[in-house]
């Protein structure tokens, strides 16, 4: 009998579960310590930052192992991923206890001696909590699939994405929200827990699809075109489309919450000097990348290829500098009221825009809304400015999705630049196409089943709370669309025999829809899930 | 021929029914089918199903991007559209796309596709269970996804088969052993088969499998999905949504059904077959000193008494996430009328003729009798007292800025008088807060609650939603787990001249099966 038959790529027995098991058990020990030590213990925010660092560290070593195989790099990559999952889950668990203590303190101070049940405080209340859990879902799924040695490379692709999700969480801010009573249900941990785990599996499925495309000799130049289109889309749509139309980036503003909770978003945005121009320059470079690589792909023009790669590298540097400039501008600007007043003096139409935004928040009837004149909108904006103008301030937290979008675009460019380096060697070291396709199908099945659980548990919860199991709320519909996409993906394997590259494209589409459901619906569309 | 009754002698090597079916279809393709059959084939095709799914995705995306008429914020959105946008979106049904005729039609066709596709494919799937493929040739086994060949002493087929069977069972496979004679042909000088030179060779094959029921998992998923669709459809067609305002002390047998027509919301009164009396509403606050805003709320609770001419009286408590079901009607907490009120008031009474202060607590709409026989009725609560244009007591806002409890006081043997018990902001010499009925009346404390609760009502006479989501939904979850977390694994071991040829396949989780197959091969290798 041939020896290779015995050489299974998976480790044997329960020991393969040790890394994931250690991360989980360790996190619960941390919860025990938090319960013992109280607020003196490390905060959930600090643990989240440790998780972020660990994920990046793990990805770095997994990438190193990919380009320059080394057992030490592989081990460091694996155990850093374990540390990331450990810190990530610890952060979530510690937050649970902290949320309980936070509200109990408020109640006791007011003389309210009631003790709500502990599940009221499960950290699934807003997008920050969901992001923590989503990143954990991606991390733990990566660890479980990394039981096979040849799939440990997955971490190089999934963990940077988990890190981006945690970065988004960092920008959103970890203030506790006042939990709406409808969320005080045992269905919430079930429903949102399933959501975060299935989102995590969908992320892993997406990463496998990207690896498959890379292995299947999809040209890096084609990938660069798609990543550049994505980046231009992000740049073009942020700041209410002002970057490419006016060469200006306007950052959102906060006004403090007098009750000390999460600050309110102001209806005004402030021009941040140079950032708009820098972003437009990045978009121009990326457009150059697209044109150059299109010329190369359709005319086999080697000169265009060389130019495209050069532009891609310059675009990467430009994106890094621009994101740095944006964050620096937001952090260092302290004379916000004066600058805002000067900006409005130069362009008074912003008062009308702000007044209109305020009117939209008031849930007026169509007739009432239509009856408000532009002059009244301007008046509303002016009144708001008079009342709150001096309190307005800039924060990276005002535009978490925009900044996370820019960082994601930057990461996309970075990975394409990376893939362009020793591409053939990289492809050789990736798992076989058959095993990648099989794992992609397996993860798509899991994501499909998970999204089905998400939809059903959400519907049953809605039926218990509102008597309306299904109302085509935008988040419900978003999850349904993602689920239908995975359903179509699985059925195309039956009807058309679509495997491999076609399946990979479907997996990418499915994950983009999951991301749209996770972020886009919460920030862009009205509905019952606007808190998360 | 058999030594333990389990062996079956098969002279003709045949394919399993499943593989035969697939082969048969290939042949049938060449004939032109009648138009009816072709339409059925089209409707039952998975390809058509995938097209329907993609169309549903597109329509759902449209519904997400264009705000729907029953979503908060629609009014402002609708007002912001140009006349042309209103005309185009409206005529295409985009403002209520999920209830448009074409969306319903699409769901109907999808259901039909699921039913027809299931009927079409079920026999093939069932044949894996009813007629398992017990035999295989070495060449077929070598073409399987997993295959292994190794030398073995095959002098005693039965003993070898027994050992292999034990190894299979140790790996969780149920086994069947078959014997058959395989025809083989010699070759002529040009290397072609010489059909005149026939010989028969004896073969023994051990077939092992696990999870064969998984083959019909997809059909269980489809049944659950159809249950979900049907239940939801029945609920939509036979039921309606309504709401009712609950003010303590009020009784009603009318609820308001809501219908949306773009930016107009119309309400129709619907008569209940029973009446409801609200006896209490409560708002449990996080900080009792704070507002009755939703952000400071732990829960809302409404207590009602149902008077039913058929079934008598029932008392119900309705809280957030704890609805009340009665005769096909389900009552849920939906919203409040957030004008400050008091569920109970604590009064501090200072007798005008001296003596000890009297404390009394009265629930909303309740009354109390003092020690001296004075009857005190709690009539009304105003959170921000003022006089309106008519000079009558009113509230300036819904906030608790200047709370007052309005009482009906009847002294023993005296006439009923109206008394205002203020919470503190009214000067002592103000006429409205002057002592009456022998006491100076002070509002010492009160438990905050809103003016009214609004319950939403879902009428679902056939429990369609319950059947849809609890049977269909939970069934779907279970079926999907069954389909995707398990698989049908098949392994064959063919004993022929001096060697064992093994092959195997699984309907999903090929990576997991690869590990399993390798372990089976390893175990077989060890025992032979």
Which residue among A116, A449, A488 sits closest to B298, beta carbon to beta carbon? A116
Please state the φ and ψ torsions of residue B351, each to the nearest 5 degrees: -60, 135
The pLDDT, as a whole number, for residue B18 is 40
Mean pLDDT, 10 residues at a time, chain B of 528 residues? 38 38 46 83 90 92 85 77 90 90 93 93 93 90 91 80 93 91 76 78 89 93 94 89 92 87 76 95 91 89 95 94 91 91 94 88 93 92 89 90 93 90 76 83 94 93 90 93 91 88 91 90 88
Among the residue ranges A15-19, A332-336, B184-188, B341-345, the one predicted with the least confidence is B184-188
Q: How far is A180 from chain B (nearest CA, A)?
A: 6
How far is A148 from A206, CA to CA, in rounded Å?
A: 18
User: Does residue A369 register a pLDDT over 80?
Assistant: no
CB B265 within 8 A of CB B258: yes
Q: A119 and chain B: CB distance < 8 Å anywhere? A: no
The pLDDT, as a whole number, for residue B366 is 92
The pLDDT, as a whole number, for residue A64 is 92
Please state the φ and ψ torsions of residue A167, each to the nearest 5 degrees: -65, -40
Measure Cα distances from A312 to A226, A308, B81, B267, B521 in Å: 12, 6, 40, 60, 51
CB A423 within 8 A of CB A448: no
Q: Which residues contact B110 (CB under 8 A, 6 or more apart)?
A: B49, B52, B53, B56
The pLDDT, as a whole number, for residue B454 is 94
Q: How many beta-carbon contacts under 8 Å exist across A and B?
A: 194
How far is B315 from A335, CA to CA, in rounded Å?
A: 61
How confident is the model over A484-515, as pLDDT tens digits?
999 988 888 877 777 888 889 989 999 999 99
Record: contact A525-B290, CB cut-off 8 A: no
> Which 3 state secondary structure label does DSSP give B152?
coil
| A367 neighbourhood in chain B, CB within 8 Å | 79, 263
Measure Cα distances from B429 to B419, B433, B434, B440 in Å: 15, 7, 7, 11
To probe the interface with B, which of A181, A187, A432, A453 has the most B CB atoms within 10 Å?
Answer: A181
Record: contact B49-A1, CB cut-off 8 A: no
Q: How many CB atoms lie within 10 A of CB B257?
A: 15
The pLDDT, as a whole number, for residue A4 is 31
Which residue among B72, B284, B473 sits closest to A456, beta carbon to beta carbon? B473
Percent with pLDDT over 70 in chain A? 93
How confident is the model over A205-239, as pLDDT tens digits?
999 999 999 999 999 999 999 999 999 999 999 88
The residue ranges of DSSP E strands in B63-138, in sequence order, are none
Q: A456 and chain B: CB distance < 8 Å anywhere? A: yes
Which residue in B has a C-alpha nearest to residue A179's C-alpha? B295
DSSP letter at B173 equals -
Q: A115 and chain B: CB distance < 8 Å anywhere? A: no
Long-range contacts of B14-19 (CB under 8 A, 24+ apart): B14/B135, B15/B133, B16/B127, B16/B128, B16/B131, B16/B132, B16/B133, B17/B124, B17/B127, B17/B130, B17/B131, B18/B124, B18/B125, B18/B127, B18/B128, B18/B131, B18/B133, B19/B133
How far is B187 from B194, CA to CA, in rounded Å?
A: 5
Query: Could you give the angle at which helices A400-419 and A220-246 cross, rounded to 10 degrees?
Result: 150
Please give the full DSSP string across B496-525, using - where no structure is assigned: ETTEEEEEEEESS-HHHHHHHHHHHHHHHH
How far is B256 from B274, CA to CA, in rounded Å?
A: 15
Give the predicted TM-score (pTM) of the model. 0.85
Record: contact A116-B288, CB cut-off 8 A: no
DSSP letter at B237 equals H
Q: How far is A182 from chain B (nearest CA, A)?
A: 6
Higher model confidence: residue A290 or residue B150?
A290
CB B283 within 8 A of CB B99: no
| A448 neighbourhood in chain B, CB within 8 Å | 480, 484
| A476 neighbourhood in chain B, CB within 8 Å | none
Record: contact B298-A1, CB cut-off 8 A: no
Q: A488 and chain B: CB distance < 8 Å anywhere? A: yes
Angle at A524 between CA A523 and CA A527, to 5 degrees: 85
Q: Please provide the distance, in angstroms rounded to a whole number, between the alpha carbons at the two ends of chain B.
A: 23
The residue ranges of DSSP E strands in A363-488, in sequence order, are 393-394
| A474 neighbourhood in chain B, CB within 8 Å | 64, 71
Average pLDDT rounded to a whole number, residues A100-116: 89
The pLDDT, as a whole number, for residue A406 is 93
Q: Which residues 152-191 of A have a C-beta within 8 angstroms of B?
A: 178, 180-182, 184-185, 187
How far is A307 from A273, CA to CA, in rounded Å?
A: 30
CB B419 within 8 A of CB B438: no
**Burial class, A530, CB count within 10 angstroms (exposed 0-12 / middle 13-18 / buried 19+):** middle
Which residue among A111, A364, A481 sits closest to B61, beta carbon to beta carbon? A481
Q: Which residues 75-104 of B have a C-beta within 8 angstroms of A?
A: 75-76, 78-80, 98
The pLDDT, as a whole number, for residue B202 is 78
Q: A117 and chain B: CB distance < 8 Å anywhere? A: no
Q: For residue B512, give both structure tokens.
A: 């997991």
DSSP β-bridge partners for residue B402: B384
**Burial class, B81, CB count within 10 angstroms (exposed 0-12 / middle 13-18 / buried 19+):** middle
Q: B340 and chain A: CB distance < 8 Å anywhere? A: no
Average pLDDT rounded to a whole number, residues A377-406: 86
Of A118, A115, A113, nearest to A96 by C-alpha is: A118
Which residue among B72, B465, B481 sits closest to A526, beta carbon to beta carbon? B72
The pLDDT, as a whole number, for residue A500 is 83
H/E run at residue A211: helix A187-215
Q: How far is B51 from chain A (nearest CA, A)?
A: 8
To probe the interface with B, which of A104, A259, A446, A449 has the most B CB atoms within 10 Å?
Answer: A449
CB A381 within 8 A of CB A353: yes
How far is A136 from A138, CA to CA, in rounded Å?
A: 5
């Amino acid at each position: 009998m041939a020896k290779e038959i015995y050489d299974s790529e998976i480790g044997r027995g329960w020991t393969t579960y040790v890394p994931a098991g250690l991360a989980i058990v360790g996190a619960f020990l941390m919860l025990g310590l938090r319960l013992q030590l109280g607020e003196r213990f490390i905060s959930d925010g600090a643990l989240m930052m440790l998780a972020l660092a660990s994920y990046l560290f793990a990805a770095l070593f997994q990438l190193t192992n990919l380009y320059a195989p080394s057992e030490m790099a592989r081990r460091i990559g694996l155990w850093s991923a374990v540390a990331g999952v450990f810190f990530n889950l610890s952060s979530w668990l510690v937050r649970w206890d902290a949320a309980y203590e936070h509200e109990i303190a408020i109640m006791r101070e007011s003389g309210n001696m009631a003790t709500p049940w502990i599940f009221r405080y499960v950290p699934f209340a807003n997008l920050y909590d969901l992001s923590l859990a989503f990143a954990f879902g991606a991390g733990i799924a990566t660890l479980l699939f990394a039981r096979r040695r040849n799939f440990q490379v997955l971490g190089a692709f999934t963990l940077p994405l988990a890190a981006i999700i945690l970065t988004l969480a960092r920008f959103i801010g970890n203030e506790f929200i006042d939990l709406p009573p409808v969320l005080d249900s045992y269905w919430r941990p079930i429903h949102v827990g399933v959501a975060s785990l299935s989102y995590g599996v969908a992320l892993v499925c997406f990463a496998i699809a990207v690896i498959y495309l890379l292995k299947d000799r999809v040209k890096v130049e084609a990938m660069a075109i798609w990543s550049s289109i994505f980046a231009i889309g992000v740049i073009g749509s942020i700041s209410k489309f002002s970057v490419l139309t006016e060469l200006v980036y306007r950052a959102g503003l906060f006004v403090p919450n007098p009750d000390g909770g999460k600050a309110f978003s102001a209806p005004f945005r402030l021009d941040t000097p140079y950032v708009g121009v820098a972003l437009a320059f990045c978009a121009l470079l990326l457009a150059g990348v697209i044109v150059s690589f299109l010329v190369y792909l359709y005319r086999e023009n080697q000169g265009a290829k060389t130019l495209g790669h050069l532009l891609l590298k310059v675009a990467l540097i430009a994106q890094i500098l621009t994101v740095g400039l944006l964050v620096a501008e937001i952090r260092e600007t302290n004379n916000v009221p004066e600058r805002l007043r000067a900006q409005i003096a130069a362009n008074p139409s912003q008062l009308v825009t702000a007044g209109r935004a305020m009117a939209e928040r008031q849930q007026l009837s169509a007739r009432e809304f239509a009856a408000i004149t532009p002059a009244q909108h301007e008046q509303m904006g002016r009144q708001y400015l008079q009342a709150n103008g001096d309190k307005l301030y800039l924060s990276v937290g005002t535009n978490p999705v925009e900044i996370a979008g820019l960082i994601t675009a930057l990461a996309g460019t970075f990975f394409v630049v990376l893939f362009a380096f020793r591409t053939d060697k990289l492809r050789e070291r990736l798992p076989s196409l058959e095993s990648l396709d099989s794992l992609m199908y397996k993860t798509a099945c899991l994501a499909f089943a998970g999204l089905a659980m998400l939809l059903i548990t959400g519907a049953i919860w809605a039926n218990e709370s509102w008597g309306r199991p299904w109302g085509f709320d935008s988040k419900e519909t978003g999850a349904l669309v993602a689920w239908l996409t995975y359903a179509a993906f699985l059925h195309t394997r039956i009807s058309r025999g679509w495997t491999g590259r076609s399946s990979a494209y479907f997996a990418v589409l499915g994950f983009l829809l999951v991301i749209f459901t996770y972020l886009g619906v919460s920030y862009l569309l009205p509905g019952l899930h606007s808190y998360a | 021929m058999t030594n333990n009754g389990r062996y079956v002698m098969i002279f003709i090597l045949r394919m399993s029914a499943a593989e035969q079916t697939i082969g048969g279809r290939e042949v049938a393709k060449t004939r032109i089918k009648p138009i009816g059959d072709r339409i059925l084939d089209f409707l039952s095709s998975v390809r058509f199903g995938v097209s329907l799914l993609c169309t549903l995705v597109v329509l759902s995306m449209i519904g997400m991007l264009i705000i729907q008429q029953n979503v908060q914020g629609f009014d402002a959105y609708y007002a912001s559209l140009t006349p042309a946008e209103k005309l185009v979106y409206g005529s295409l049904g985009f403002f209520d796309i999920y209830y448009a005729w074409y969306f319903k039609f699409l769901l109907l066709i999808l259901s039909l596709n699921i039913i027809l596709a299931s009927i079409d494919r079920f026999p093939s799937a069932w044949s894996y269970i009813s007629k398992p493929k017990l035999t295989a040739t070495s060449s077929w086994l070598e073409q399987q996804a997993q295959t292994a060949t190794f030398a073995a002493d095959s002098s005693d087929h039965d003993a070898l088969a027994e050992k292999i069977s034990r190894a299979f069972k140790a790996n969780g496979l149920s086994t069947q052993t078959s014997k058959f004679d395989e025809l083989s042909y010699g070759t002529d000088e040009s290397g072609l088969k010489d059909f005149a030179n026939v010989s028969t060779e004896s073969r023994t094959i051990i077939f092992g499998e696990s999870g064969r029921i998984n083959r019909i998992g997809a059909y269980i998923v489809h049944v659950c999905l159809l249950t979900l669709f049907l239940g939801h459809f029945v609920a939509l067609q036979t039921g309606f949504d309504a709401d009712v305002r609950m003010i303590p002390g009020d009784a009603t047998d009318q609820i308001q059904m809501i219908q949306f027509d773009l930016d107009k919301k119309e309400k129709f009164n619907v008569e209940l077959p029973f009446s409801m009396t609200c006896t209490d509403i409560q708002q449990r606050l996080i900080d009792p000193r704070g507002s009755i805003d939703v952000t400071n709320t732990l829960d809302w609770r409404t207590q009602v008494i149902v008077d039913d001419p058929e079934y008598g009286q029932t008392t119900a408590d309705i809280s957030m996430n704890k609805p009340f079901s009665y005769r096909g009607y389900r009552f849920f907490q939906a919203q409040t009328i957030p004008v400050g009120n008091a569920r109970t008031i604590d009064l501090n009474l200072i007798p005008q003729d001296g003596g000890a202060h009297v404390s009394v607590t009265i629930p909303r709409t309740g009354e109390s009798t003092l020690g001296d026989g004075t009857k005190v009725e709690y009539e009304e609560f105003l959170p921000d007292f003022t006089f309106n244009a008519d000079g009558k007591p009113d509230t300036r806002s819904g906030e608790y800025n200047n709370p007052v409890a309005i009482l009906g006081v009847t002294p023993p043997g005296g006439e009923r008088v109206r008394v205002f018990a203020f919470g503190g902001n009214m000067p002592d010499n103000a006429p409205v807060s002057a002592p009456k009925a022998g006491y100076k009346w002070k509002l010492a404390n009160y438990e905050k609650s809103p003016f009214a609760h609004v319950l939403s009502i879902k009428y679902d006479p056939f429990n369609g939603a319950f059947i849809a989501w609890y049977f269909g939904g939970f069934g779907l979850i279970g079926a999907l787990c069954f389909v995707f977390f398990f698989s049908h694994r098949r392994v064959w071991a063919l004993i022929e001249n001096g060697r064992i040829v093994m092959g195997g396949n699984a309907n999903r989780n090929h990576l997991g099966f690869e590990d399993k197959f390798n372990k089976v091969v390893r175990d077989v290798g060890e025992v032979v």
